[in-house]
C-alpha cells in the first residue's frame, strides 16, 4: 500500500521543472521532499496528489495506475482517501473553526462538532477557538487548523506542503508529532519541507535536484 510515481516530467512555461522523477512512498511512512526553493517540491506534490497532471509519467495509488482515471474518479479519491495541508490550507474563512474541521452542520446551519474533532483541535492548540470565525485566525493558526482537518478525516494519503512553515518551535514540534502519529496509524504522509526537524522525523527523505 502506498503511492509511487514513475518517470514524472513537468514543463511549465517552456522550462523543465523536473524531467524524470521516480519515487515511492509507503503507507505508514512519512516521506519528505526536500531541496532548495524553486526545485519543484510543490509541483511534485501536486502531481502526486493528482492535482496536476504531469506531461509524462504515471502516479500509482495502492498499486493502481491513475493514468486513465476520469476527473470523477480523481474527485472521489480526493474526497474519500486524500487530504491536503497546503500553506494557504484551504481554510473557509467565513465558517467557524469547528466547521473547518468537521465540514458538517445541522439543518439550522449550526456546526456539528464531536469529541474527535475537539480532540484534534486540542492537539493543535485551538480547542478554545471552536466557535470563532476562521477569518480571525493568524496564518500559523490557519495552518494548524488545516492539519486538524486532515487528521480528523483519517485520510489514507496526506499531502502536506511546508506544514510547519509559519509556526514557532513548539507548534512545529506538535505538527511533526501529529503527522508522525498519522503515519504510525497507517497513513501515507508526503510532505515538502524546509524544516530539518520535520525531515528528521521522516522515514524517507527525497532530495530534489535544484532546477537547471
Ligand X SMILES: Nc1ncnc2c1ncn2[C@@H]1O[C@H](COP(=O)(O)OP(=O)(O)OP(=O)(O)O)[C@@H](O)[C@H]1O
What does the binding site for ligand X look like in residue numbers (CB under 6 A)? 12-13, 17, 37-43, 192, 211
Please, what is the minimum distance in Å from the beta carbon of residue 100 to Mg ion?
Answer: 23
- When CB distances are held under 5 to 8 angstroms depending on the partner's kind, the choice from ligand X, Mg ion, none that residue 12 binds is ligand X
Report the residue number whose CB is nearest to Mg ion: 42
The H-or-E segment that residue 205 falls in is strand 204-207
- When CB distances are held under 5 to 8 angstroms depending on the partner's kind, the choice from ligand X, Mg ion, none that residue 149 binds is none
d(CA 61, CA 51): 14
- Interface residues for Mg ion in 33-52 (CB under 5 A)? 41-42
Residue placing its CB nearer to ligand X in the complex, 13 or 169: 13
Residue 104, phi-psi category: left (phi > 0), alpha (psi -120 to 50), beta (remainder): beta
d(CA 169, CA 201): 15
- When CB distances are held under 5 to 8 angstroms depending on the partner's kind, the choice from ligand X, Mg ion, none that residue 33 binds is none
Please, what is the minimum distance in Å from the beta carbon of residue 3 to ligand X?
Answer: 18
d(CA 162, CA 29): 17
Residue placing its CB nearer to ligand X in the complex, 127 or 165: 165
Q: Does 171 bind Mg ion (CB under 5 A)?
A: no
Residue placing its CB nearer to ligand X in the complex, 33 or 117: 33
CA–chain centroid gap for 155, Å, is 10
Is beta strand 15-26 parallel, antiparallel or unpaired with respect to 2-12? Answer: antiparallel
DSSP state of 96: B
Residue placing its CB nearer to ligand X in the complex, 100 or 164: 164
Residue placing its CB nearer to ligand X in the complex, 92 or 211: 211
- How many residues in total does the chain contain? 212
d(CA 200, CA 34): 11
Please, what is the minimum distance in Å from the beta carbon of residue 121 to ligand X?
Answer: 27
The H-or-E segment that residue 119 falls in is helix 115-123
- Given the rule CB under 5 A, which residues bind Mg ion? 41-42
Amino acid at each position: 500500500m502506498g503511492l509511487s510515481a514513475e518517470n514524472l516530467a513537468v514543463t511549465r512555461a517552456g522550462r523543465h521543472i523536473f524531467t524524470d522523477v521516480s519515487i515511492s512512498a509507503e503507507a505508514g511512512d512519512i516521506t519528505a521532499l526536500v531541496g532548495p526553493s524553486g526545485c519543484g517540491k510543490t509541483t511534485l506534490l501536486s502531481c502526486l496528489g493528482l492535482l496536476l497532471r504531469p506531461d509524462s509519467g504515471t502516479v500509482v495509488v495502492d498499486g493502481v495506475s491513475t493514468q486513465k482515471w476520469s476527473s470523477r474518479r480523481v474527485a472521489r479519491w480526493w474526497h474519500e482517501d486524500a487530504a491536503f495541508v497546503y500553506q494557504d490550507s484551504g481554510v473557509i474563512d467565513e465558517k467557524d473553526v469547528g466547521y473547518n474541521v468537521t465540514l458538517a452542520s445541522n439543518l439550522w446551519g449550526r456546526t456539528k462538532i464531536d469529541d474527535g474533532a475537539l480532540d484534534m483541535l486540542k492537539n493543535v492548540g485551538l480547542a478554545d477557538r471552536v466557535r470563532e470565525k476562521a477569518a480571525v485566525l493568524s496564518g500559523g493558526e490557519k495552518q494548524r487548523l488545516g492539519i486538524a482537518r486532515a487528521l480528523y478525516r483519517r485520510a489514507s494519503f496526506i499531502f502536506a506542503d511546508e506544514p510547519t512553515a509559519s509556526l514557532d518551535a513548539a507548534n512545529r514540534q506538535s505538527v511533526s508529532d501529529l503527522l508522525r502519529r498519522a503515519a504510525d496509524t497507517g497513513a501515507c504522509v508526503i510532505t515538502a519541507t524546509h524544516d530539518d526537524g520535520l525531515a528528521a522525523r521522516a522515514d524517507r527523505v527525497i532530495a530534489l535536484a535544484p532546477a537547471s
